[in-house]
Structure 1
């Protein structure tokens, strides 16, 4: 929005400067015509209304100087002097207006240059911010990629641990089963040994009793 506003303001200044340049050209032409008429002794009899403002606005249209109804030098001397004074005043007003237009154009040019500098400064700041933002995005993307990699590695490690855990449990069960079978076999062997010893003991006891009786 700021760029559009500055662009619109720049266009308005350019249009204003062009308008002022055209106005200066018109004023310069009219001043030149007035001076030539004064030099040639041709003085118009049509004078401006006394109610017209002494300082016309820049935006007001400029009255063209007519060359009709001219009088010969020397005739109506008094009227000619007044007309000459009036024309001199008009020339001065036109020159003053021209000077004001030049000053206004200069002011507009300076303002335009200032706005251009501000625009360039803002554009430079914008570029810097965009570069910083791009760096932050790259950094965040790198961090995000790093975190994703770490999470993936952690997930793989958990799965591997789960597999190892299952294998350990299975191996433990197998070993316990084998151990139980071995113990049961040992117990059976011990029971058989005990039975064998008991039987032999009873036989020896019977033999002893028989010997004592004999």
Structure 2
């Protein structure tokens, strides 16, 4: 029997996927609203699945973060928001690398050593390598976007966000945190698709044009 939290994650993933699916007849506002609905549903499922002991801290962080985000989106000029978002994407990649390094240095604390084995299992090592590699790509893309500030900077920012999301998803899969896997996977998919669309637009072609003639 599927519980409510798992069902909410599945519906949120479907909504987010639909918002990213290229369609000539779908208004951009509807796609944004669909993505916002998926994010809201995913956030609600994450809060619902948390321990009620930490609920005040979680709700407080959500309120403060939403208020600051709304204030910056309304008042800050675009170039400052770009720098801020790029920095956050790079920091997210760095955080994933540091977390993976901590897991690698002390695997016993995270239960990554199989019974009768002296080292980290191969499946866990694969997830660690994926976490570190995607986190490194996120840091590199964010750094290049900050120093380049060219036409492809927006695509590099999207790539950094996507790689940071994939890095978080790989780390969450390693630690068996299903909620974080869903959130990181959605961020990774969204960033990757947006980066491809931006690079395609810079070349006069987008994902929706794939398979069409020149």
TM-score range, shorter chain: under 0.3
Q: Identify the structure with bigger relative contact order (alpha carbons < 8 Å, sequence gap 6+).
A: 1
Question: Given the two structures, how large is their TM-score scaled by the length of structure 2?
Answer: 0.22
The structure number with the bigger radius of gyration is 1
